[in-house]
Amino acid sequence: MHSRIPSPDVRALLHEKLDALLADCDHVAENAQYGRTLHDLDDFLFIEGRKFIKEVLQQKLQERIEQAEATPETKHCPDCKKKRTPTTEPRKQ
């Protein structure tokens, strides 16, 4: 398996999201009731950390798709040309 480094734009976005997640952790810790800091942080990170990891994995997968679509084999594949591009098909959330 090849290790791929995210593009600079993706790295910046991920760093920004991670910084926001850590800032939110500080906020949760500062506002936790006495004796509940670890419990509150655990609850917060279970939900928000999972969202962060999901976003990272989705971005990595999207980069792999874009790299695969940029190969000469894919560009000349008649079946691949039938696919809609992200700019022509609205994303479903």
**Least confidently predicted of 15-19, 73-77, 82-86:** 82-86
Per-residue pLDDT tens over the stretch 31-45? 999 999 999 999 999
Distances (CA, A) of 82 to 3, 66, 68, 74, 85: 30, 16, 15, 11, 9
**pLDDT above 80 (res 76):** no
**pLDDT above 70 (res 82):** no
Structure token pair of residue 48? 């928000």
| Angle, helices 8-31/37-69, rounded to nearest 10 degrees | 170
Average pLDDT, the chain: 81
pLDDT of res. 45: 94
Q: Domain limits of the chain? A: 8-81
